[in-house]
Structure 1
């Protein structure tokens, strides 16, 4: 995936990292994407990813819901 704008690096533990240099930027941004979820669940695990999503996404009174 190396190109003019992005560089792809694979760490020893298998984590893939994409970086892009922006010399004129005065800030930085980080995004994290994890190769997991219902796509990777076995039949006996069906629904666990969605359940975890609900626990994390709705588990805090400090974060407003879509209705707020």
Structure 2
């Protein structure tokens, strides 16, 4: 079952990272970026792994 997630990260997603998340909604804020998507548990795990491998710092993860 897919859940709606909001993921906040420290800093901005550059163009290269944004293109790898083209099926997700991304919003840039002054010091953070927000990614919103409806994901399965496996998709969420893959996304978090990709962010970690890219050196992105997770600030907040919300399900709901």
Taking structure 2 as the reference length, what is the TM-score of the superposition?
Answer: 0.27
Taking structure 1 as the reference length, what is the TM-score of the superposition?
Answer: 0.26
The structure richer in strand per residue is 2
In terms of Rg, which structure is larger?
Answer: 1
The structure richer in helix per residue is 2
Structure with larger RCO (C-alpha < 8 A, sep 6+)? 2
